[in-house]
Amino acid sequence: MPQLHLLSAKKMIKILFCLGFEELRTKGSHHFFFNPDTKKTATVPVHGNEYLSIGILKEILKDIDLSMKEYEKLRQKI
C-alpha cells in the first residue's frame, strides 16, 4: 500500500474545489462541501495550518471516492 502524504485542510479544500465541490456552509471550524455532479459530500475540519490526521484524510478520500493514486496526483499539482 502506498504511503499517504499528509496535507493541511486548506490544501484539501483546494483539491475539493478542483474536483467540482462547492462549499455549502461552515459551522465552527468544520467546512461542509457538496459536489452537484456526483452528489457526494465531504466535511473538512480547518484548524489553522495544521495537517489533517491520517484517519480524517482517509475518511475524506472514502467519502468522495478518490483513490490514493488520484489523490497523490492532485496533491502534487496543488
Domain ranges of the chain: 9-77
Task: Locate 41 and state its grid cell.
Answer: 459530500
Pick one of 3.30.1390.10, 3.30.920.30, 3.30.70.20, 3.40.50.140 as the CATH number of 9-77: 3.30.920.30
Q: pLDDT of 10-59, one tens digit each? A: 999 999 999 999 999 999 999 999 999 999 999 999 998 899 999 999 99
Residue 2's pLDDT band (boundaries 50, 70, 90)? low
Tell me which residue has cell 490544501: 11
Burial-class residue 18 by CB neighbours within 10 Å (0-12, 13-18, 19+).
exposed
Sheet containing 40-45, strands listed edge to edge, beginning at the edge strand earlier in sequence: 22-27, 30-35, 40-45
Can you give the pTM of this predicted structure? 0.91
pLDDT, residue 67, reads 92
pLDDT, residue 48, reads 86
Tell me which residue has cell 475540519: 45
